[in-house]
């Protein structure tokens, strides 16, 4: 059988040339995000692969969808359907999760629950529908601590059916807020086998917008802008402000709240979104900031040029109510005071580390804006020595052992206690797949401006009530969106029966 030997030689030569190619070939330069308009019924190809991007003066190998950082901005119409032909050109298994979109269960992108992992070289077709207006995003649901951190994410802008849903503006921009952990020699490495930074999640030390270290946006005096903000960081919460400009909050994860509100800034936990507008009334340079109680970081600069032609005045200072949402929420408002159907506690177990507030000397901060003095301990923590917990208060069952069933079409209350007495109290951005909720109250204080959401930041020591619209049959994940906490167990499956 001489041909077998010949084939072997050919195979060896092929493998050798592949290996040589891998060593010699540097990943192509990343391109900036582009908007892709997807009509109802269209098919779009999306490939995950390696790219090169210069961050803080050094070229880094990152991952991207269709070579773009952030990935393509998918513009779709509310009520439309789109097919995404996904190809995995990464060296690792991956999936794509369509964060916040109430998709059919089979296309939710959770490995082991809704699909098998997409292996290197394989493809998977996602059939998506978009029932709700708002700003959503897509990212892997497998080792997000590395894959999402390295650039695998993009936005989905679902344009409302109602053509006058939002206020008229001169310009719209999607801004991904993110950070990266850079060391003197380049990007901090990742462990092949498991996540690191399990205790607090990976806080970066370089903050940026849309993967640009020096994000700049030019606009004209007299214009009105709308920003769609997405927190794509692993762990860092942002308090987004624009120097010298009040913001009009006109949307959260899934479109408008009951009433627009003029605010100084918005706090976004990882995976949360907000839609804000600003009126440019004076020329000059204004910083986009992450303004925390301890420090302000410049994320980018808004350059407002004196207008060449006068722009008609807008009614920026008069926030509008949203009577359509207000009336549609009537059946939910009737249940705001009901007893919880499920009570969860957020807790942690750590081996060999006494991290109690008592040991650290004080009560917990509601939000840890920085990694701070915990940096060394955080980087050494892994899922082996750190277990993050969602615990059913009634049964004592934890994480994937929690059993909860709801009927599709039912409204249920989930109460979340983020224990101040846990071994390391900190905020957790919780995300529910496939279904939407209202944040009914925080620490017993009713929310007087409801909006549809899929992600909520629960501060340390706080109790948050969610009123969930269980509308979508299937087994859906409820988990912390700090990927290192997810890798350390902080997830449960909620079953919605048809
Ligand atoms: Cu968490």
Q: Per-residue pLDDT tens for 107-148?
A: 999 999 999 999 999 999 999 999 999 999 999 999 999 999
CA 401 to ligand 1 centroid distance, Å? 18
At residue 148, the pLDDT reads 97
DSSP state of 435: S
Listed range (158-162, 170-174, 363-367, 493-497) with the worst mean pLDDT: 363-367
Q: What angle do CA 208, 174, 39 make, to 5 degrees?
A: 145
CA 164 to ligand 1 centroid distance, Å? 38
CA 274 to ligand 1 centroid distance, Å? 20
Q: Which residues, 6+ apart, have CB-to-CB distance to 185 below 8 Å? A: none
CA 374 to ligand 1 centroid distance, Å? 16
DSSP state of 18: H
At residue 358, the pLDDT reads 47
CA 369 to ligand 1 centroid distance, Å? 14
CA 486 to ligand 1 centroid distance, Å? 7
At residue 83, the pLDDT reads 98
Mean pLDDT of 197-208: 95
Task: Choose the CATH number for 332-497 among 3.10.20.30, 3.30.230.10, 3.40.50.720, 2.60.40.420.
Answer: 2.60.40.420
Nearest Cα residue to 433 out of 104, 117, 176, 148: 104
CA 13 to ligand 1 centroid distance, Å? 48
User: 31-159: which CATH topology?
Assistant: Immunoglobulin-like (2.60.40)
CA 145 to ligand 1 centroid distance, Å? 12
CA 484 to ligand 1 centroid distance, Å? 8
Q: Rounded to an integer, what distance in angstroms lies between the CA atom of residue 58 and that of residue 69? A: 16
At residue 283, the pLDDT reads 96
pLDDT band for position 185 (50/70/90)?
Answer: confident
CA 390 to ligand 1 centroid distance, Å? 10
Segment 310-359, tens digit of pLDDT: 665 567 777 899 999 999 999 999 999 999 999 999 999 998 765 555 45
**β-strand 171-180 against 206-209: which pairing, if any?**
antiparallel
CA 480 to ligand 1 centroid distance, Å? 5
pLDDT band for position 22 (50/70/90)?
Answer: very low
Mean pLDDT of 455-469: 98
Segment 36-64, tens digit of pLDDT: 999 999 999 999 999 999 998 899 999 99
Whether residue 464 is predicted with pLDDT greater than 80 in this model: the reply is: yes
Cβ-based burial of 24 (10 A; exposed 0-12, middle 13-18, buried ≥19): exposed
Q: Rounded to an integer, what distance in angstroms lies between the CA atom of residue 346 and that of residue 358? A: 18
CA 158 to ligand 1 centroid distance, Å? 28
CA 162 to ligand 1 centroid distance, Å? 36
- What is the longest distance spanned by two Cα atoms in the chain? 84
Q: Which residues, 6+ apart, have CB-to-CB distance to 38 below 8 Å? A: 44, 74, 75, 76, 80, 82
At residue 373, the pLDDT reads 83
CA 247 to ligand 1 centroid distance, Å? 28
pLDDT band for position 87 (50/70/90)?
Answer: very high
CA 235 to ligand 1 centroid distance, Å? 8
Mean pLDDT of 208-236: 96
Cβ-based burial of 120 (10 A; exposed 0-12, middle 13-18, buried ≥19): middle
Whether residue 7 is predicted with pLDDT greater than 60 in this model: the reply is: no
At residue 345, the pLDDT reads 98
CA 287 to ligand 1 centroid distance, Å? 30
Mean pLDDT of 284-312: 89
Q: Are 113 and 477 in contact (CB under 8 A)?
A: yes
CA 7 to ligand 1 centroid distance, Å? 52
pTM: 0.93
Whether residue 286 is predicted with pLDDT greater than 60 in this model: the reply is: yes
**CA-based Rg of the chain, rounded to a whole angstrom?**
23
At residue 142, the pLDDT reads 96
Q: What angle do CA 169, 304, 313 make, to 5 degrees?
A: 40
pLDDT band for position 437 (50/70/90)?
Answer: very high
At residue 20, the pLDDT reads 46
CA 234 to ligand 1 centroid distance, Å? 10
Location of each CATH 2.60.40.420 domain in the chain: 31-159, 171-322, 332-497
What's the mean pLDDT when you consider all of the chain? Answer: 92
Whether residue 202 is predicted with pLDDT greater than 60 in this model: the reply is: yes
Q: Cα–Cα distances in Å, from 353 out to 201, 359, 374, 384, 484? A: 16, 10, 12, 13, 18
At residue 21, the pLDDT reads 45
Mean pLDDT of 306-311: 70
Mean pLDDT of 437-464: 97
CA 48 to ligand 1 centroid distance, Å? 26
Whether residue 2 is predicted with pLDDT greater than 50 in this model: the reply is: no
CATH architecture label of 171-322: Sandwich (2.60)
């Amino acid at each position: 059988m001489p041909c077998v030997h010949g084939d072997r030689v050919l195979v060896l030569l092929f493998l050798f040339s592949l290996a040589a190619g891998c060593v010699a070939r540097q990943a192509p330069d990343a391109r900036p995000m582009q908007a892709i308009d997807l009509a109802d019924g269209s098919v779009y190809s999306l490939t995950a692969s390696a790219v090169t991007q210069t961050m803080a003066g050094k070229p880094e190998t990152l991952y991207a969808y269709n070579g773009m950082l952030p990935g393509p901005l998918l513009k779709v119409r509310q009520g439309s359907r789109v097919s995404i032909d996904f190809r995995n050109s990464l060296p690792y298994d991956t999936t794509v999760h369509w964060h916040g979109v109430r998709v059919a269960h089979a296309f939710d992108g959770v490995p082991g629950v809704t699909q098998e992992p997409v292996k290197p070289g394989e493809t998977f077709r996602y059939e998506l529908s978009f029932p709700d207006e708002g700003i959503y995003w897509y990212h892997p649901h497998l080792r997000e601590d590395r894959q999402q951190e390295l650039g695998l994410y993009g936005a989905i802008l679902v344009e409302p059916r109602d053509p006058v849903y939002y206020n008229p503006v001169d310009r719209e921009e999607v801004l991904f807020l993110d950070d990266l952990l850079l060391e003197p020699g380049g990007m901090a490495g990742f462990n092949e086998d498991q996540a690191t930074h399990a205790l607090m999640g990976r806080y970066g030390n370089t903050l940026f917008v849309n993967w640009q270290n020096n994000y700049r946006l030019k606009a004209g005096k007299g214009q009105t802008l709308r920003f769609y903000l997405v927190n794509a960081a692993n762990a860092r919460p942002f308090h987004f402000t624009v120097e010298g400009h009040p913001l009009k909050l006109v949307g959260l994860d899934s479109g408008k709240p009951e009433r627009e509100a003029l605010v100084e800034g918005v706090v976004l936990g990882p995976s949360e979104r907000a839609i804000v507008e600003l009126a440019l009334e004076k020329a000059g340079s204004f910083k986009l900031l992450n303004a925390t109680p301890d420090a302000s970081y410049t994320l980018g600069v808004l350059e407002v040029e004196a207008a060449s032609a006068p722009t008609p005045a807008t009614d920026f200072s008069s926030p509008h109510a949203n009577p359509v949402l207000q009336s549609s929420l009537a059946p939910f408002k009737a249940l705001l005071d009901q007893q919880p159907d499920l009570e969860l506690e957020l807790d942690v177990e750590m081996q060999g580390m006494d991290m109690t507030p008592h040991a650290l000397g004080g009560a917990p901060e509601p939000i840890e804006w920085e990694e701070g003095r915990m940096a060394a301990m955080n980087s050494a923590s892994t899922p082996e020595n750190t277990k993050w917990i969602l615990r059913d208060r009634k049964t004592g069952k934890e994480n994937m052992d929690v059993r909860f069933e709801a009927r599709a079409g039912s409204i249920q209350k989930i109460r979340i206690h983020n224990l101040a007495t846990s071994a390391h109290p900190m905020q957790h951005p919780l995300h529910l797949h496939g279904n939407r909720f209202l944040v009914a109250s925080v620490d017993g204080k009713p929310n007087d401006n409801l909006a549809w959401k899929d992600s909520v930041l629960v501060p340390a020591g706080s109790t948050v009530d969610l009123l969930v619209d269980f509308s979508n049959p299937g087994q859906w994940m409820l988990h912390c969106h700090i990927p290192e906490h997810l890798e350390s167990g902080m997830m449960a499956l909620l079953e919605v029966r048809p």
